[in-house]
Structure 1
Amino acid sequence: MEDTQISLRVFDISEDFDDFMVWATDSKAARFCSWEPYTSKEDALNYLKETVVSHPWFRAICLGNRPIGAISVAPGSDNNRCRGELGYVLASKYWGQGIATRAVKMVIDSIFVEWPHLERLEALVDVENPGSQRVLEKAGFLREGVLRKYVIRKGKTRDVVMYSFLSTDSLAQL
C-alpha cells in the first residue's frame, strides 16, 4: 500500500455519507467500538450532523480520497488539556494492509503541531483486539499496561490496554 494513496481529511456529509455507511454498518468494524453497527440511515446521518461536524478533530481515513474509515482525537477536559484520546475505525475489507498504522502515524505527525498544548496522545484498546494493539505498536505507541474492568462496552465490563505516544517521543526511532 503506497502512503501517497492514504490521506486524512474532514468529512463532507453530502459527499461521504454512502462511504461512511460501508463501515458504519460493518459488524466486524464496530465490534470493539462504543457504537453498534448502524441499521438506520437517519440515525447515521444524525450522528454525523450532531457528533462528527462539531468534533474538534475528526477525520476521514481516505484511500484515493474516498473514505474507508475514520480517526479522531478527543481532547482532555480543562484539567487534562495535556492529553487527547485517539480512536479509529476502518472498514474490515481494508484490515491488514497497513492503512490504520499509516493513518495513526499521520495523526502523530500533525496533532502535536495543531494542538501545541498536547503532551500525550493515548489510546485504549480492548484486550481481545490484537490487530488494533499491533497498529499502535507499529506506529510507535508504548504499551503501558492493562486497565482491568475499565470500560462498559456494549453492556459488558471490559479490560483495556492503555497505549501512549508523547510529544517528546520520536517517530524516527521506528
Structure 2
Amino acid sequence: MERNSSHSDGKEGKEGFLEISLRPFDLSDVDDLMVWATDDRVSRICSVVTCTCREEAVKYIKDCVIPHPWYRAICIKNRPVGFIKVTPNSGGDRCRAELGYALATKYWGQGIATKAVKMVVSSIFSEWSHLERLEALVLVENPGSQRVLEKAGFQREAVLKKHLTHRGRTRDLVMYSLLSTDPKL
C-alpha cells in the first residue's frame, strides 16, 4: 500500500502541526467520505459526486474509487479528510492526465490541499513515465482552488467559457497545467 507523508506548510491546527498522508481508499472510509460528499459547500465549487446516504457512498467507493487508477484519500492521522485523483487519458491524449481534489470544509485554508497537490506532483511524472502534462480544471468562482494550483507550480492557461454544466448551470472553468520537467521528453 502506498503511503506518502508530509508535514503541512507550518500551519498549526487544533492538535499541533498537521501531518498529511495519501493512501488508497477502502470501504471502511465510507463515513469519512460522507463528511465532504454530503457538504453543499464542497459540491457547490467542486464537481465531486454528492452522496445522500451511506449506501450511495459505499457503492461509489466500490464502483468508482477503488477501481480508479489513481484515487487517494488525503488523510490526517490516517483519517480521510478529502481526496485527490489523477485521471489518465488514453490513445493520442495519453501524454495528459487530469488532477482533481476536494477537502472537507473544516480543513480549508490550512495548506492541506496545496501540500497534497505538491505530493502528487512530486511523484506522478515518475510513476507514469509517459505523462508529460498534468491538467486541472477549476470553476472560475473557486479562487481558493486556483491559489492551491498556483502555489503548487501550475500555470493558468485559459478561461474555458461555458465548458461544464454544474448544478444545473453552464459554468466557465479555468484551465491550469503543469508540464513534466523530465529532460528525456
TM-score if structure 1 supplies the norm length?
Answer: 0.92
Q: Distance between the aligned counterparts of 2:90 and 2:172, measured in 1?
A: 23
Pairing 1:11–2:16 present: no
Structure 2: give runs of 5+ residues left out of the alignment.
Answer: 1-5, 9-17
Q: Distance between the aligned counterparts of 1:90 and 1:33, measured in 2?
A: 10
Structure 1: give runs of 5+ residues left out of the alignment.
Answer: 170-174
Pairing 1:27–2:10 present: no
Residue by residue over 1:43-67, the C-alpha shift from the partner in whole angstroms, topping out at 9 and shown as x without a partner, is 1111111100110000000011111
Question: What is the aligned partner in structure 2 of residue 80 from structure 1?
Answer: 93
Matched positions, count: 168
Q: Distance between the aligned counterparts of 2:27 and 2:43, measured in 1?
A: 20
SS at match of 1:2: strand
Pairing 1:69–2:82 present: yes
How much has 1:32 moved relative to structure 2? 2.2
Amino acid at match of 2:7: E
Superposition map of 1:1-174 within 5 A: 2-3=7-8, 5-14=19-28, 16-35=29-48, 37-168=50-181
Question: What is the aligned partner in structure 1 of residue 14 from structure 2?
Answer: none
What stretches of structure 1 move > 4 A for 4+ residues in a row? none
Cα RMSD, aligned residues only: 1.5
- Percent identity of the aligned residues? 65
Residue by residue over 1:146-171, the C-alpha shift from the partner in whole angstroms, topping out at 9 and shown as x without a partner, is 011111112211100000011128xx
SS at match of 1:128: coil
Amino acid at match of 1:13: L
How much has 1:37 moved relative to structure 2? 3.1
Q: Distance between the aligned counterparts of 1:105 and 1:97, measured in 2?
A: 14
Question: What is the aligned partner in structure 2 of residue 172 from structure 1?
Answer: none
Q: Distance between the aligned counterparts of 1:41 and 1:62, measured in 2?
A: 20
TM-score if structure 2 supplies the norm length?
Answer: 0.86
How much has 1:36 moved relative to structure 2? 5.5
